[in-house]
Amino acid sequence: MHDKRPEVLKITDLRKNFGDSRILKGISLTVRRGEVLVVIGPSGCGKSTLLRCLNGLEPADGGEIEFLGKSLTGGKTDWRLVRQKIGMVFQNYELFPHLTVMGNILLGPLKVQKRKREEAEREASEWLDRVGLLDRAGSYPRELSGGQKQRVAIVRALAMAPEVMLFDEVTASLDPEMVREVLDVILNLAKGGLTMVIVTHEMAFARAVSDRIIFMDDGLIVESAPPHAFFRNPSTDRARKFLNIFEFEESVRGKEEEETETPEGDSPKDDPPKNDPADNGKTGV
Ligand SMILES: Nc1ncnc2c1ncn2[C@@H]1O[C@H](COP(=O)(O)OP(=O)(O)OP(=O)(O)O)[C@@H](O)[C@H]1O
Ligand SMILES: [Mg+2]
């Protein structure tokens, strides 16, 4: 049944180097319409690089990316156009500080897509309502919390009516109490059938939101499996080790939540793993 859905992205043997370092070593992956893929893997394995190649922020060094049947890797791609259809939200929301929430959201639809203000504004309001921020339309970014800003960043990408959304660690720099509100928005987008590729270290969320988990290590896809199969019984040692670290951290976090007002500094005491999620995004460039 899955196979009948049209292919939104088809990645074949994608390669990316930085200098002498081979970062993506041959990634092949198909994303079908309505599918939600979650990409997980240790810090530095190439997750962000993969997403950045998909919307042209990094040029690929080999292989092919097709978007709705058209090659993006042939050299003549108008990435500005493509980026309207392949939306991306990063860890650090970059809203324009001098524009209101509504101003930020309307920039793309009005300036890039030349849409009518009235219609674009109506749609933007609908999106803001759906993420619980309609009453903040006139606020400036500095007046918002991190979670609110990140929800605005998501709406800003959605306002371009993308075909697929790429999310790279969108909750990584948020305080824990704000993580949930952003993840809820993405869960609702998944329910609405939006095609998404999500990089996250939030394992419970990954399990809940995804149709498929893509586990990467060292520039390659090591496993690709439905979430229940992946989390219950990963088929490689590398994935098992990776999950063990997270189970440990989640159990620590669970304990912390039981005790109200736990002081900080209660982090896991064993060897800091290479892929310490607390470190994520800060070391990965
Ligand atoms: N612009 C760049 N120049 C040089 N090296 C880079 C660049 N961007 C990424 N790298 C390197 O490529 C590798 C993969 O980085 P990437 O950011 O894709 O990892 P990641 O899987 O997203 O990690 P994290 O979970 O920490 O975000 C890392 O070794 C990183 O240092
Ligand atoms: Mg990254």
Establish whether residue 49 lines the binding site of ligand 1, counting it when its CB lies within 6 angstroms of any ligand atom.
yes
Length of the chain as a residue count: 285
What pLDDT is attached to residue 176? Answer: 87
Note the pLDDT of residue 274.
39
Determine the 3-state secondary structure of 161 from DSSP. coil
- pTM, two decimal places: 0.87
User: Strand 212-217 relative to strand 21-32: parallel, antiparallel, unpaired?
Assistant: unpaired
Distance CA 124, CA 105 (A): 7
Ligand 1 close to Cβ of residue 18 (< 6 A): yes
- The ranges of the chain with pLDDT < 70 are 1-3, 248-285
Cβ neighbours of residue 35 closer than 8 Å, sequence gap 6 or more: 2, 5, 8, 195, 196, 211, 212
What is the atom index within ligand 1 of the atom nearest the CA of 58? 1
- Phi then psi for residue 166, to 5 deg, are -110, 130
CA geometry: angle 254, 229, 67, nearest 5 deg: 105
Q: Which superfamily, per CATH, for 2-92+164-279?
A: P-loop containing nucleotide triphosphate hydrolases (3.40.50.300)
| Distance from residue 52's CA to the centre of ligand 2 (Å) | 10
Nearest CA to ligand 1 atom 19: 44
pLDDT at 249: 67
pLDDT in tens, 213-246: 999 999 999 999 999 999 999 999 999 999 988 7
The residue to mutate among 18, 168, 220, having the most atoms of ligand 1 within 8 angstroms of its beta carbon, is: 18
| Residue 64 burial (10 A CB sphere; 0-12, 13-18, 19+) | middle
